[in-house]
Amino acid sequence: MYKTSVIILLVSVGVIAGQYFHCESDGKQIWVSQTCDCVANCNDKSDEAPELCPNLDTDCFLCPGSDGVYLAPYQVCDNTWDCLNGEEEENCPTESAENDVLP
Ligand SMILES: [Ca+2]
Ligand SMILES: [Ca+2]
């Protein structure tokens, strides 16, 4: 009986610790799956901090000149400006570009 309770407690703690991430500045609770997804869910962006997400630079698109605004891959070349000046929509392959012959 005692053992079962301890196991249940440990599993519960593990589930809670594994599912939620607490933002550093205000302790706001978000899903762990929302961390390192290139989208800032915390006001302080602690869910996308470089210490937490070492692959941020390769997994996400950093808006040039922005204060660390990252975009998820699906936001790049989706014909919608997500960076302030739509930088992520530049250099996208287009149907017409594929037919262009470079000089
Ligand atoms: Ca996030
Ligand atoms: Ca976009």
User: Which ligand approaches the C-alpha of residue 80 most closely?
Assistant: 2
Out of 8-17, 39-48, 50-59, which region has the weakest mean confidence (pLDDT)? Answer: 8-17
Ligand nearest to the CA of 37: 1
Per-chain mean pLDDT for the chain: 85
| DSSP structure class, residue 91 | T
Tell me what pLDDT residue 94 has.
Answer: 75
Q: Decide: 36 and 55 in contact? Cβ < 8 Å.
A: yes
Contact call for residues 35 and 52 (beta carbons, < 8 A): yes
Residue 82 reports pLDDT greater than 70: yes
19 C-alpha to center of ligand 2: Å? Answer: 29
Of the two residues 64 and 94, the one the predictor is more confident about is: 64
State in Å: Cα 42 to ligand 1 middle. Answer: 7
Q: Of the bound ligands, which one is closest to the alpha carbon of residue 78? A: 2
Which residues lie closer than 8 Å to 95 by C-beta, 6 or more apart?
none
Share of the chain above pLDDT 90, in %: 62
Query: What one-character DSSP code corresponds to residue 22?
Result: E
Region 55-75 average pLDDT: 91
pLDDT tier for residue 103 given thresholds of 50, 70 and 90: low
The tokens describing 64, both together, are: 């040039």
Average pLDDT for 59-67:
92
CA distances from 88 to 36, 39, 67, 92 (A): 19, 15, 15, 8
Closest ligand relative to 75 C-alpha:
2
Parallel, antiparallel or unpaired: strands 29-31 and 20-22 = antiparallel
